[in-house]
Amino acid sequence: MSRIAKHPIPIPAGVDVKVNDGKVVVKGKMGELTLVLVKDISAKVNDGTVILKPLSNASFAMNMWGTTASNVKNMIKGVTEGYSKKLLIEGVGFRAALKGKDLVLQIGFSHEVNYKTPQGINIKVPKQTEIEISGIDKQKVGQVTAEIYSLKPPEPYKGKGIRYEGQRVRRKEGKKK
């Protein structure tokens, strides 16, 4: 049984939460997010809180109870504060730039890599070796960050590639004579 979902989720001032037809819609100063509820979970808004209940005692319903609670909390935080992640680029000649809304990466290939920015995501390049990804949807921000990271993950010998901020790359010793 979920311990997370047992507690009601508080709704901060400036956030509007509506539940209708199996959907939870959260509106805030940064935008609007929608979550389609699983048929085994019910939601209602009471006195400035969101209350989630499983409709059965099946293990799937219990699993989705906590997951849905976490998703609703993330939606509320997203429309109030937003989410952001940072990537660092390391390597000689490796750099990033913005062309319109698209990200252009030079990461050691014979060609530039163009990454189209999805809707609802903002990408900034404060330095040539830093990329900041931000948005209101936590899942989307994480997915875009992972896609950019996967273009050139850091290699273990010289550490060249794209890495998350704070990521420690485990280095290997090179060949010995």
Length of the chain equals: 177
Cβ density class 7-24: b for 16+ within 10 Å, e for less: eebebeeebebebeeeeb
Label residue 176 by pLDDT band (50, 70, 90). confident
Average pLDDT over residues 41-53: 93
Give the residue from 24, 52, 80 where a domain finishes: 80
Label residue 12 by pLDDT band (50, 70, 90). very high
- Domain extent for 119: 83-164
Contact 53, 45 (CB under 8 A): no
User: What distance separates the 2 farthest-apart alpha carbons in the chain?
Assistant: 72
Average pLDDT over residues 110-132: 95
Note the pLDDT of residue 168. 92
pLDDT, tens digit (0-9, with 9 covering 90-100), for 50-81: 999 999 999 999 999 999 999 999 999 999 99
Contact 120, 133 (CB under 8 A): no
Give the residue from 20, 47, 80 where a domain finishes: 80
Is residue 4 situated within a structural domain? Answer: no
